């Protein structure tokens, strides 16, 4: 289901576009968030835990589109910088910015959240049987766990296509960029949820195009990976992939 009413309006405002271009940390996170959220109901009285929020794009979406109360959490992103950005957008009173490692026991009461939401990050910590099972108790019965993250149309297993082999030499990439059926097998092992939707996001190509457009191979050393600029590495990988293998996978699960 393609839903892009919010993102199209958001990007038509120059100030919003500048913010988006300065904070994208992967394929357009607001676009992915909008498609993910279109599969269930979010209301303004809800409390939402956003895991791996990066610079907060999904949190901005959840507040501006629904007026929900969001806990925007990330292992590395600076909560002060995020809070200041949220202040500039006039939405800081609806968002708690904090550092949080999703792999650790969460510092919240059980059944506290209506929704756990995550865009572009879940595969980095959720590629194991424990993660989904550990998150379930923090969501109220009838609430949702909704995550969208980068994946593959089919799992490479030990058969990595030749053009992708240089990128799959990075152990983290080989570990957490997996095929949709691989994720289906993993998610099916969790008790206490009903899987409402597990599919490839329709916005994948557009979200990537919008990200590629702002990458700068000469940007320098903000992040380094194998001593190369990550922007250049990402551009090279996407060029090699050429639309053949990557997808964006979304899971929407109702907590029983
Ligand atoms: C590719 S970025 C995506 C950021 C953001 N969601 C977006 O779409 O713009 C992945 C994020 O996952 C976060 N992350 C990785 N491992 C994590 C963990 N164990 N707990 C919380 N966040 C984590 C990283 O710090 C990073 O901000």
pTM of the model: 0.96
Total domains in the chain come to 1
Nearest atom within ligand 1 for CA of residue 53: 6
DSSP 57-85: HHHHHHHHHH--EEEEEESSS-HHHHHHH
Q: Is residue 134 part of a domain?
A: yes
Among residues 35, 31, 86, which one has the least CA distance to residue 63?
A: 86
247 near 179, Cβ under 8 Å? no
Task: Give the tokens for residue 252.
Answer: 């929407």
The confidence score (pLDDT) of residue 216 equals 78
For residue 103, the SS3 value is coil
Distance between Cα 148 and ligand 1 center (Å) = 12
Task: Judge whether 197 lies within some domain.
Answer: yes
3-class DSSP assignment, residue 43: coil
Q: Which residue, chain included where needed, has tokens 């607001």? A: 30
Residue 103: CB within 6 Å of ligand 1? Answer: yes
Pocket lining: 20 vs ligand 1, CB cutoff 6 Å = no
Is the torsion defined by CA of 206, 207, 208, 212 positive or negative? Answer: positive
Indicate which CATH number applies to the domain containing 71: 3.40.50.150
- Please report the DSSP string for 214-246 in residue order: T--TTS-SSSEETTEEHHHHHHHHHHHHTTSSE
**φ, ψ for residue 210, nearest 5 deg:** -70, -30
What is the predicted pLDDT for the residue at 29?
98
Q: How far is the CA of 59 from the centre of ligand 1 (A)?
A: 13
| 47 domain residue, yes or no | yes
- Give the model's pLDDT for residue 227: 41
Residue 78, in any domain of the structure: yes
Does residue 108 lie within any of the structural domains? Answer: yes
Distance 251 CA to ligand 1 centre (A): 17
Is residue 225 in a domain? no
Place of tokens 């120059």: 14
Any ligand 1 atom below 6 A from CB of 29:
yes
For residue 217, what pLDDT is reported?
73
Q: How far is CA 74 from CA 54, 68, 124, 163, 240, in A?
A: 6, 18, 12, 32, 30
Q: What is the span of the domain harbouring residue 59?
A: 5-155+176-211+245-255
Ligand 1, atom nearest to 104 Cα:
19
The H or E element spanning position 140 is strand 139-152
Q: Using CA positions, which residue lies closest to atom 22 of ligand 1?
A: 52
What are the mean pLDDT values of the chain's consecutive 10-residue runs (256 residues total)? 86 96 96 98 98 98 98 97 97 98 98 98 97 98 98 97 96 96 98 98 98 81 54 92 98 98
Instruction: Give me the pLDDT at residue 218, please.
Output: 72
pLDDT of amino acid 1: 54
Q: Let me know if residue 229 belongs to a domain.
A: no
Residue 238: inside a domain: no
- Specify the pLDDT at position 219: 65
Residue 222's pLDDT is what? 47
């Amino acid at each position: 289901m393609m839903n892009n009413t919010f993102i199209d309006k958001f990007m038509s405002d120059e100030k919003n576009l500048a913010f988006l271009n300065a904070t994208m940390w992967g394929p357009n996170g607001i676009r992915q968030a909008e498609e993910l959220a279109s599969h269930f109901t979010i209301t303004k009285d809800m409390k939402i835990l956003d895991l791996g929020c990066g610079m907060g794009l999904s949190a901005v979406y959840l507040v501006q589109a629904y007026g929900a109360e969001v806990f925007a959490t990330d292992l590395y992103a600076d909560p002060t910088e995020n809070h200041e950005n949220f202040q500039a957008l006039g939405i800081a009173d609806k968002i708690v910015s904090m550092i949080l490692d999703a792999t650790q026991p969460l510092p919240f009461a059980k059944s506290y959240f209506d929704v756990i939401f995550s865009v572009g990050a879940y595969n980095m910590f959720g590629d194991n049987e424990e993660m989904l099972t550990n998150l379930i108790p923090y969501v109220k019965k009838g609430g949702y766990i909704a995550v969208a993250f980068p994946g593959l149309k089919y799992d490479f297993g030990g058969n990595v296509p030749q053009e992708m082999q240089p990128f799959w030499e990075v152990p983290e990439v080989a570990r957490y960029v997996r095929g949709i059926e691989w994720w289906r097998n993993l998610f099916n092992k969790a008790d206490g949820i009903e899987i409402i939707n597990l599919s490839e996001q329709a916005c994948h190509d557009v979200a990537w195009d919008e990200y590629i457009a702002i990458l700068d191979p000469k940007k320098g050393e903000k992040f380094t990976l194998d001593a190369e600029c990550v922007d250049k590495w990402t551009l090279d990988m996407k060029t090699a992939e050429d639309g053949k293998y990557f997808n964006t996978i979304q899971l929407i699960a109702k907590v029983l």
